[in-house]
Structure 1
Amino acid sequence: MRFNHPPSIEDLQEMAETAFSAIPEELRSAVQGTAILVEDLPDEETLEALELQHPWELTGLYRGVPLTEKTHLGVPGEPDTILLYREPILVEWIETGEDLFRLVRNVLIHEIGHHFGFSDEEIARLEGEG
């Protein structure tokens, strides 16, 4: 995909949906019902909770209870959500020269990995499989 303008939230949302449909079925089915949203930047509350100084430090966030911590007896809470942050993703895209679709895919896979409680090594392996 080539852009003559900075990719919009809608552009990244479309990439995320395309990337999601291309990840392995076992990952997709396990996060069925998880919302995938794109926002420009993380909010101040999120930055404070993660002790981050600048919003460009966070490209994505998994909000929810990882599968490794869920119980069948637990009271349902907020739905699980994967947030992708447009501006930090675009900054990384510009700084690294990485393919934007691949970058969006990797951020998405990274956040899905958090849903499963995967280690950073396991997540890196999944990111490299595409």
Structure 2
Amino acid sequence: MNRTFGPPPSPAEFEAIARTAFARLPAEFAAHLGDLVMSVEEFADEETLAAMGIEDPFELTGLFEGIGLTEQSIADSGQMPNRVRLFRQPILDEWIADGHDLEHLIAHVVVHEIGHHFGLSDEDMHALEDAAD
């Protein structure tokens, strides 16, 4: 479904879009996700924003929490699983401001945060995006 205009999806619909994007990852990447957890929240909590030095909660659309695959070691056993958090209201705000297809925007945030799971930095991902354009 192409959502470039219209009412925003409900929280349940938004999560379904995000889970569909997650499920569409190529098999060679999906095979390495392990027990990665994805959650959808309205906004990042105050503690998260403060830890990241972000004052405006609309500035954070997603967050990877955990240890990237390239940094993991045997000493990390017993850690919580890696997690991708998506923040619904900031993503919807960006969707409204930019007019992009919502499913594409959500998939972009999902892929970006999963990129951190694979050990890619923001700079690495921006370079890959620029090369693909």
Q: Same fold (TM over 0.5)?
A: yes
The structure-2 alpha-carbon separation of the partners of 1:8 and 1:15, relative to structure 1 and needing over 3 Å to count, comes to same
Q: CA deviation at 1:74?
A: 2.4
Aligned to 1:86: 88
Candidates 9, 12, 32, aligned match of 2:11: 9
Whether the 8 Å CA contact 1:93–1:103 is kept in 2: the answer is: yes
Could you report, residue by residue, the CA deviation over 1:20-71 in whole angstroms, capped at 9, with x for unpaired residues?
A: 1212112211113111110000000000000001110000001111111110
Percent identity at matched positions?
43
Aligned residues between the structures: 129
Aligned position for 2:67: 65
Aligned-partner SS, 1:30: coil
Q: Is the 8 A contact 1:36 1:83 kept in 2?
A: yes
Unaligned segments of structure 2, at least 5 residues: none
RMSD: 2.0
Q: Which residue of the partner structure matches residue 106 of structure 1?
A: 108
Matches within 5 A, 1:20-59: 20-59=22-61
Specify the code of the residue in structure 1 equivalent to 2:75. L
- Cα distance in 2 for partners of 1:75, 1:120 equals 26
User: Which protein has greater RCO, CA pairs closer than 8 Å, 6+ apart?
Assistant: 2
Q: Which runs of 5 or more residues in structure 1 are unaligned?
A: none
Superposed structure 1 runs of 4+ greater than 4 Å apart: 126-129
CA distance in 1, matches of 2:130, 2:34: 19
Give, in angstroms, the shift of residue 72 of structure 1.
2.0
Letter in 1 for 2:87: Y
CA deviation after TM superposition for structure 1 residue 122, in Å: 4.0
Aligned amino acid, residue 56 of structure 1: F
Higher alpha-carbon deviation: 103-112 or 14-23: 14-23
Q: Secondary structure at the match of 2:55?
A: coil
Partner of 2:40: helix, strand, or coil?
Answer: strand
